Amino acid sequence: MLATQTTISRASYVPVSQTIALVDDDQNILTSVSMALEAEGYKVRCFSDSVEALREVAETPPDLAVLDIKMPKMDGMELLTRLRREQDLPVIFLTSLTDETDEALGLRMGADDYITKPFSLRLLTERIRAVLRRMELASGMRDEDDEDEPPMVRGSLAMDPARHRCTWHGDNVILTVTEFLILKSLALRPGHVKSRDQLLDAAYDENIYVDDRTIDSHIKRIRRKFRAVDDGFAQIETLYGAGYRYKEA
C-alpha cells in the first residue's frame, strides 16, 4: 500500500545508471514504484514471483533490491538469505506497518534498510538513494578527482574501503554497506566509546530516520559474521547505557 502523497517532481531528475530490482506480489506497487524510480533515472526490473526473482537476480545482479517480505512461494526473508549466499547485494525490505518483528528480523539478517507500509514513493526513493550513496562511499566509487581512502589495519582486522573488503586473520568477512560503515567507525578509534547516535550518523544519511535499536541489530549481525570465521571474536564491546567500542589490541 502506498501513502496518499506520492508525487515526485521531475525537476529532481538526475541521470544515473543504477539498476533496481523490485520484488512484490502487489501489481499496483510494482507499477507505481517502477514509474517513480524510472522518473528519477533508475533502471527497474520488476518481479511479482520471488522464485523467478531469485533466479534472475542471481544471474544478473542489480545495484540494489527492494524486497517485499510477505510473498507467496518464497518470502522476502528467505529470498534475502539465498541471495546472500552468493553476493552481498544491498537490500531494502518492505514490511507491514504492524510487524515490528519483521523489521528486527530483517535487520538481523543483514538488510540495509527497511520501509514500513503504507509508504510514500518519495521516502522510498530517498532511502534507495541513501543506501546507494553509502555503497559508493564504502566502495571508493567517488569522482575521479577524489583520492581512495587507504586501507585500515587494527591487529587481525583489515578493512579496505576502496574495495569494500574486510578480513579477520586473513579470512574474508562479507559485510553489508551499513555493517561496514559501523565497524569502520568503531575501529577507527579503538578503545573509544561510540554512542548509538554516533554510529547512526556514521552509517545513515542525515535525512533518514531509524530507531537506535537498529544499531543493536547490526552489531549482532557483525559479531555473528566474525564468529563464523573465529568463534573467539570479542573485539566489539557493549557498554550498557553508553554504546559500543572496538577493543584495543
Q: The C-alpha cell of 159 is what?
A: 578493512
d(CA 19, CA 70): 23
Q: Average pLDDT, stretch 109-125? A: 79
Name which of 8-17, 84-93, 128-137, 215-224 the model is least confident about. Answer: 8-17
User: pLDDT by residue (tens digit) across 175-206?
Assistant: 877 888 899 999 999 999 999 889 888 877 65
User: pLDDT by residue (tens digit) across 200-232?
Assistant: 888 776 555 566 677 888 898 899 989 999 999
More confident residue, 29 or 202: 29
Query: Binning pLDDT at 50, 70 and 90, where does residue 147 land?
Result: low
Asked if residue 30 has pLDDT above 70, the reply is yes
Q: What Å distances lie between residue 90 and 13, 31, 61, 238, CA to CA?
A: 22, 22, 10, 26
**How many other CB atoms sit within 10 Å of the CB of residue 168?**
20
Write down all domains in the chain, each with its CATH number in brackets. Answer: 10-139 (3.40.50.2300), 152-246 (1.10.10.10)
Q: The C-alpha cell of 172 is what?
A: 574474508
Name which of 52-61, 79-88, 140-149, 185-194 the model is least confident about. Answer: 140-149
Tell me whether residue 208 is exposed, middle or buried, using C-beta atoms within 10 angstroms of its C-beta: 0 to 12, 13 to 18, 19 or more: middle
Query: Binning pLDDT at 50, 70 and 90, where does residue 15 land?
Result: very low
Q: Average pLDDT, stretch 1-10? A: 40
Sequence-separated contacts (24+) of 155-163 with Cβ below 8 Å: 155/235, 155/249, 157/187, 157/235, 159/183, 159/184, 159/187, 161/137, 163/139
The model's pTM: 0.58
